[in-house]
A and B are shown apart, each in its own frame.
Chain A
Amino acid sequence: MDKLINDFSFGLFFWQFIILLVVVFVLGKFAWKPIVNALEAREEGIADALAAAENAKREMANLKADNEKLLVEARAERDALLKEAREIKDQMIADAKGEAEAQGQKLIAQAKAVIETEKAAAVSELKNQVSSISIEIAEKLLKDQLADKEAQSKLVEKMLDEVKLN
């Protein structure tokens, strides 16, 4: 201890004090602070860049998921549209079929009615013609049979016989 105190040199202490002050303050201003700040800034930059990359990755994943979702949705929509179209088509065919049938039925009924009336007309005309022909034939027959007087008298007689006056 005695030797330590004896070895203590105030001059050296003084210079060390001054030099340490200079190193701490001057170097602090021009080196330590810029260095520490730069290291920190770089670390922050790296951390930020990593975070940004992570974010971008997450966003990409999100985007991909969104795309997939959209694709699934589009596919479902397409399927729904196709199904609807098919239904509409079936409906239309069914409708058309029903309509056509009804139309046909109606046409057939109309035709039947026309046929009926035509038939009736034809029958009545036939009847008329037959009656007129029968009259003509009867006329002609009568003309032929009643050409002479005898025949005529016979007939009258016959008729008279038939009509018995009671």
Chain B
Amino acid sequence: MVTLKKSLNLLAAVIFTASSVFSYAQTNAQNLEKSIEETEQSVAETLEAAEEANHEHPIVEKTQAQKVQDHITHHLADDYSFVFFSDEAEGKNYGFSLPVILIDNGLKVFMSSEFDYGKKVVEKDGQFYKLYHGKIYKTDAAGTIDYDDTHHPTNEKPLDFSITKNVASLLFTTALIFVMFLGLAKTYKNGANNLPKGFARALEPMVLYVRDEMAIPNIGKDKYRKFMPYLLSVFFLIFLLNLLGLTPLGFNVTGSISVTACLAIFTFIITQFSANKDYWKHIFWMPGVPVPMKIMLAPIEILGALIKPFSLMVRLFANITAGHSVVFGLIAIIFVMKEALGTGGAIGIGFFLSTFLVFLEILVAFLQAFIFTMLSSLFIGMAVAEHEHDEAHH
């Protein structure tokens, strides 16, 4: 946990240096807290109101808080184009569009710019598509969207394999990982005693960290080697995606449930397929307990085996989503509290708080990658463990 300790030290240093700013801002602090609470409340209220209002009166003027909430929701969700800045006043977005790939009576590929951010209906081979709230729906030439009672569109969705913002980010990160680790692997080509140079030198201890702190203690020295490719892939993929999510590129891959679900399903599949007889016996016919208990324990154990990957999925998703939401919320202080604190004060407070939080998020980025890999190896370790002792435990 050396890395953790170091990041904690860093955190402590940041807090220490920030303490002077705190004392300066103390007079404002109570005010600020109160107003933050108020804002949050009003954000929640206006959000609900907006949801309703949005569908009934789409042209209604949005409040500042509503805009912030929309922006956060928009950021957290996937997108069909990569937008770096957008100019609301002129309605312009600066970024690039990404390819849309639909399977709907044949393959249909076109650029997302054809949607013009949801303003236009796209027609391909007699089929009409509309981008509505970040999702593509089949529609008619007029772009009609039907709603059910809870304002969810009931239009049919085509099978969507588009290179969305998250997929593009994923591909970019994967390319980065390939470059990094193929480079590291190349240093060992001329013998294992060739030490890596430059950036690769920083990667080697991390590989060792995954091996010595996660794989070997949990899976055991004889069996860990088989699972190293998966554990290393997952660790570096999550870590890098988390870190890059904190950059102004602003993507939120590990904060989308599809990605964490996929990762968790991988862990689940690997665990089940590498499990030995003991593992299944412990699930279906728990040794060392009376028969009625065995019958009672079986469903609990089966449920437990399913909950483990589910917890993996939700933990990563929730941590990253929460981090991104809070960072965006704090940045939004600049706009929401401009009147209460003055432009300079708002920028200062927003900047300070979000900087502080980003440091925390760097820690979380590492921590979540660590926890996911750690728990994956723990589950795998439980599945492959040999129970050579008598079965009186549990």
Q: A residues within 8 Å of B by Cβ?
A: 4, 6-17, 19-20, 22-28, 30-42, 45
Contact = CB atoms under 8 A, between A and B. Distances in A.
Contacts of B174: 19, 22-23
A5 to B, nearest CB: 8
A32 B192 contact: no
Contacts of B257: 4, 7-8
Contacts of B232: 32, 35-36
A7 B195 CA distance: 45
Interface string B157-199: 0011111101100110010011001101100110011000000
A10 B77 CA distance: 14
Given A7-B77, A7-B257, A36-B225, 15 more contacts: A10-B160, A15-B171, A16-B263, A19-B170, A19-B174, A23-B174, A27-B178, A27-B182, A27-B233, A31-B182, A33-B228, A39-B207, A39-B208, A41-B192, A45-B192
A36 B214 CA distance: 14
Contacts of A36: 207, 211, 225, 228, 232
B112 to A, nearest CB: 13
Contact of B160 (A11, A22, A31, A34): A11
Looking at A6, A17, A23, A40, the one whose CB has the most chain B CB atoms below 10 A away is A23
19 contacts: A4-B257, A6-B152, A9-B258, A10-B159, A13-B261, A17-B262, A19-B170, A23-B177, A23-B233, A24-B229, A30-B185, A33-B229, A34-B188, A35-B184, A35-B188, A39-B192, A39-B204, A39-B211, A45-B193
Nearest to B178: A27
A40 B188 CA distance: 11
Contacts of A8: 257-258, 261
Interface in B227-259: 228-230, 232-234, 237, 256-259
Contacts of A15: 161, 163, 167, 170-171
Nearest to B77: A7
When A and B form their complex, which 5 residue pairs have the shortest distance between CB atoms, in order from nearest? A28-B229, A38-B188, A41-B192, A31-B181, A12-B258
A91 B181 CA distance: 89
Given A8-B261, A12-B259, A27 B161 contact: no
A30 B261 contact: no
Contacts of B101: 11
A40 B193 CA distance: 10
A20 B263 CA distance: 8
A47 to B, nearest CB: 12
Nearest to A46: B193
B256 A12 contact: yes
Listed residue (B77, B101, B159, B178) with the most chain A CB atoms within 10 angstroms of its CB: B178
A7 B101 CA distance: 18
B228 A11 contact: no
A125 B260 CA distance: 153
A42 B184 CA distance: 14
A142 to B, nearest CB: 142
A67 to B, nearest CB: 35
A15 B225 CA distance: 27
Contacts of A32: 181, 228-229, 232-233
Q: Name the residue among B166, B192, B211 with the largest chain A CB count within 10 angstroms.
A: B192
B193 A23 contact: no
Contact of A20 (B163, B193, B237): B237
A24 B166 CA distance: 19
B164 to A, nearest CB: 6
A9 B78 contact: yes
Contacts of A31: 178, 181-182, 184-185
A19 B164 contact: no
Contacts of B258: 7-10, 12-13, 16
